[in-house]
Structure 1
């Protein structure tokens, strides 16, 4: 078993090393940062909306009726691993749940580690950037955002 863990650890290390090298390319860096933030943001919003739906004891079908959408739209929103809802859909669902979608500034650490590399197309420490973005993209593994 220890050998398997060592192999996985080595492979994981190789992945991060390769990613850090790929992030040296300004175009790749920009695409990777944008995609990571997109995934993290959508996950946080969808998780908060689903938690609010559960708290309201509202079925997905009832929520779909409330926003005049097909039930499949709401089912996909809360069930699919690869969602890319429109802002309009998120706003409608939020309104039906007594909420609204708002913008907030990134924490200072994220602005430094995410925004600056995005604007400049480079990062002084691509290994740290890769790991930070990986953590942001893992929002499904975190506890849900409070509704």
Structure 2
């Protein structure tokens, strides 16, 4: 780990001592990871169905640009309605699942309490989620 990388994690861990910043960071990290996971799964299903973005847009009566942005933009924030419509057109549906107990403890407790026992471990765990490769949850 480089000194610059270590400084980033140290600074972030310090920023996470602020309950408002911590809650915002956790919420955004979970939102980004969740939306990315859903959009990637829908795009894989679209590819597997050999369905073009334009055909998918027609199926849900949407502007083709909406579907292109959904699958092409780096930072999308689609509505749940749009995701559900796309999923339905692909023969899928959006569902909820509980977090595993260790992740629930490392994510939910900081949101509810506004603090984390190990802010650096929390930051690294959330970074792993945002990158699509979850790391072991903080204890």
The C-alpha deviation readout for 1:96-143, integer Å capped at 9, x for no partner, is: 00000000001111101000011000001001001000001102x79x
The two structures have a TM-score, normalised by structure 2, of: 0.94
Question: What is the correspondence of 1:1-147 to structure 2 with a 5 Å cutoff?
Answer: 9-139=2-132
- List, as ranges, runs of 4+ consecutive aligned residues in structure 1 with deviation greater than 2 Å: none
Instruction: Tell me the C-alpha RMSD between the 2 structures.
Output: 1.2
Paired with 1:108 and 1:61, the residues of 2 have a C-alpha distance of 41
Task: Give TM-score, length-normalised by structure 1.
Answer: 0.89
Bigger relative contact order, structure 1 or 2 (CA pairs below 8 A, ≥6 apart)? 1
Matched residue pairs, number? Answer: 134
* CA deviation profile, 1:49-106 (whole Å, cap 9, x unmatched): 0000000000000000000000000000000001000000000000000000000001
Q: Distance in 1 between matches of 2:107 and 2:66?
A: 32
The residue that corresponds to 1:3 in the other structure is none
Cα distance in 2 for residues equivalent to 1:90 and 1:37:
17
CA distance in 2, matches of 1:122, 1:103: 25
Query: Which ranges of structure 2 fall in alignment gaps of 5 or more residues?
Result: 135-139
**Separation (CA, whole Å) in 2 of partners of 1:107 and 1:42:** 18
CA distance in structure 1 between the aligned counterparts of 2:34 and 2:126, rounded to whole angstroms: 12
